[in-house]
Amino acid sequence: MTSFTADDVSAVTANVEGMRDTLITLSHEISADPELSYDEHRAAARCADLLEQNGFEVERASYGQPTSFAARLGSGDTHIVICAEYDALPGVGHACGHNIIAASGLGAGMALAPLLDAANMRLTVLGTHAEEVGGGKVELIDAGAFDDADVALMMHPTPYDDYGPKSLACEEWIVVHKGRASHASGAPELGLNALDGVIAGYNNISLLRQSFRKYQQVHGVIVDGGKAPNVIPERAEASYYLRAVNSEDLEDLRTRVRACLEGAATATGTTVEISVNGYVYESLKPHEKLVATFTEACDAIGREFFPDPSGEELGGSTDFGNVSQRIPGLHADLAVYCSPAVNHQHEFAAACISPDGDKSMLDAAKALALTALAVAADPAMVKQ
Ligand SMILES: [Zn+2]
Ligand SMILES: [Zn+2]
């Protein structure tokens, strides 16, 4: 297998280490200034500015998305796209560590910049907005952002190393029950309680859970449960995520959850409207050769593999799944050594700006850059 050379390892290591303080500052600044999906204006600008200062040609608000950007450099034959996420979560801030994704993606891109001509490589660092909610990469796919890319690469911080993780397909449902308001004490017989519709649907799904197929999941929250106890709620709303290991299991889940919600409407005399929010997140399809190359790159830079002691875990979803179903993709999970803390906890946000988090960010920048060089040296490895 053609791969990167020892000279590549020295050059990439020196280039990333030369930017160490800049990258750590970027990562910490994004973490300290969390912005939700579709609102990541300052994070996108921080990244775009830095790439511009480092010689990239930067298109802001690229592909019709106000908080995306495309930073391009080089004119070689192999086109590598490196994805940089930077959105945060409500309440817990950068508890998914997307600050590390952004900084490592930029680090890889800027480390590659002086090497592009010799490597016959063309590079795009793509600012990918709205990963936590919505599915920004689906919008970027639809707008052609990956059309002429040979591969797409990114990392994600996690409690343990897994360079070729799988993920679940996922779809968000907005469920609205409507009934009829009435005086809850004076004339309850004239009301139709929409909150009861939501509660009955929630309970039906809980009863269904015992017969879920492996990796089918539903989790939900009630986002509108009425306004006052003495008014029978005429409207109530819930939000559910439906997840499954593949699209067939997801379709099976849709059918059965829909029956739960319609049954609840019948039982309570309410109506139910179900709508899909955002896009379907497809499952990740790890490209074996990219995973093997990234693993080699981690060995070459002296990163010791740190796997989950409980064995392979499957959970969560990412819109990079959609990318990986279309072109060869790598979504490498790198430990920030935070166990028992996990993604979406306050402690995880802290781990992603700790010295261990910074180290994994720099490791990822190096290993992503080396993987890109290996692909450019042997483009056939990603062509079937
Ligand atoms: Zn994430
Ligand atoms: Zn997340």
When divided into structural domains, the chain yields a total of: 2
Q: How far apart are CA 9 and CA 49, in angstroms?
A: 27
Residues ≥6 apart with Cβ < 8 Å to 372: 80, 82, 108, 112, 121, 123, 151, 153
Do 178 and 218 belong together in one domain?
Answer: yes
Is residue 46 exposed (0-12), middle (13-18) or buried (19+ Cβ within 10 Å)?
A: buried
Q: How far is the CA of 96 from the centre of ligand 1 (A)?
A: 5
- Res 2: pLDDT: 63
Tokens matching residue 352: 């992603």
Residue 1 lies in a domain: no
**DSSP assignment, residue 222?**
E
Domain CATH code at residue 202: 3.30.70.360
**DSSP assignment, residue 89?**
B
Q: How far is the CA of 266 from the centre of ligand 2 (A)?
A: 36
Q: How far is the CA of 142 from the centre of ligand 1 (A)?
A: 21
Q: Which domain holds residue 69?
A: 6-167+283-382
Q: How far is the CA of 251 from the centre of ligand 2 (A)?
A: 23
* The domain boundary residue, chosen from 236, 265, 280: 280
DSSP-based three-state secondary structure for 218 = strand
- Res 314: pLDDT: 79
- Res 384: pLDDT: 65
Q: How far is the CA of 89 from the centre of ligand 1 (A)?
A: 9
Q: How far is the CA of 43 from the centre of ligand 1 (A)?
A: 15
pTM of the model: 0.91
CB 329 within 8 Å of CB 287: yes
Q: How far is the CA of 195 from the centre of ligand 1 (A)?
A: 32
Return residues with CB closer than 5 A to ligand 2 (ion): 96
Do 102 and 12 belong together in one domain?
Answer: yes
**DSSP assignment, residue 369?**
H
Q: How far apart are CA 95 and CA 90, in angstroms?
A: 9
DSSP-based three-state secondary structure for 166 = coil
pLDDT in single tens digits along all 384 residues of the chain: 668 999 999 999 999 999 999 999 999 999 999 999 999 999 999 999 999 999 999 999 999 999 999 999 999 999 999 999 999 999 999 999 999 999 999 999 999 999 999 999 999 999 999 999 999 999 999 999 999 999 999 999 999 999 999 999 999 999 999 999 999 999 999 999 999 999 999 999 999 999 999 999 999 999 999 999 999 999 999 999 999 999 899 999 999 999 999 999 999 999 999 999 999 999 999 999 999 999 999 999 999 999 999 886 778 899 999 999 999 999 999 999 999 999 999 999 999 999 999 999 999 999 999 999 999 999 999 986
Q: How far apart are CA 10 and CA 8, in angstroms?
A: 5
* The domain boundary residue, chosen from 239, 255, 280: 280
Q: How far is the CA of 87 from the centre of ligand 2 (A)?
A: 9
What angle is formed at CA 162 by the lines to CA 288 and CA 134, rounded to 5 degrees? 90
- Res 126: pLDDT: 98
Do 120 and 246 belong together in one domain?
Answer: no
Could you count the other beta carbons within 10 Å of the beta carbon of residue 68? 26
Q: How far is the CA of 245 from the centre of ligand 2 (A)?
A: 18
